[in-house]
A and B are shown apart, each in its own frame.
Chain A
Amino acid sequence: MNACVASFAVSCESGDRTGVRTLQREQELNRFLAEVEKRALRIAEISVRDRDEALDLVQDAMIKLARKYADRNSDEWTPLFYRILQNGVRDWHRRQAVRNRVLVWFGRPGNEDNDYDAIASAPDPGGRTPDEQLQSQEAMQTLEIAVGDLPARQREAFMLRTFEGLNVAGTATAMGCSEGSVKTHYSRAVHSLRESLGEHWQ
Chain B
Amino acid sequence: MKERKDKVADEAFADKAKQLFDESVEGLDGETRSRLNRGRQAALNELTAGRSVWVQWAPAAGVAAAAVVAIVLWTGNPPVDELTPEASATDFEILLAEDSFEMLEDLEFYSWIDLDEDAEVAVEAEDIVG
Q: How many residues of B contact A (CB 8 A)?
A: 43
Within 8 A of A (CB), among B15-67: 16-18, 20-21, 23-29, 32-33, 35-37, 39-40, 42-44, 46-48, 50-51, 55, 58-59, 61-63, 65-66
Q: Which B residue sits closest to A147, measured CB to CB? A: B17
Chain A residue at smallest Cβ distance from B17: A162
B62:A125 contact, CB within 8 angstroms: no
Report the separation of the CA atoms of residues A161 and B37 in the bound assembly, to the nearest whole angstrom: 25
In the assembled complex, the Cα of A164 lies from the Cα of B25 at a distance in Å of 11
B21 touches A11 (CB 8 A): no
In the complex, whether B101 has a CB less than 8 A from a CB of chain A is no
* Minimum CB distance partner of A165 in chain B: B18
Chain A residues, CB < 8 A from B32: 41, 51, 55
Query: Which of the residues A1, A67, A136 comes within 8 Å of B23, measured between beta carbons?
Result: A136
Q: By DSSP majority rule, is chain B's interface helix, strand, loop, or mixed?
A: helix
Nearest Cβ on chain B to A28's Cβ, whole angstroms:
10
Q: Is the CB of B36 within 8 A of A124?
A: no
From known contacts A11-B58, A67-B50, infer whether A125 and B24 are also in contact, taking CB-CB under 8 Å.
Answer: yes
Binding site for B on A (CB under 8 A): 1, 3-5, 7-8, 10-12, 14-15, 18-19, 22, 25-26, 29-30, 33-34, 37-39, 41-42, 51, 55, 58-59, 62-63, 65-67, 70, 122-126, 136, 139-140, 143, 161-163, 165, 187, 190-191, 193-194, 202
Q: Which chain B residues have a beta carbon within 8 Å of chain A's beta carbons?
A: 9-10, 12-14, 16-18, 20-21, 23-29, 32-33, 35-37, 39-40, 42-44, 46-48, 50-51, 55, 58-59, 61-63, 65-66, 69-70, 73
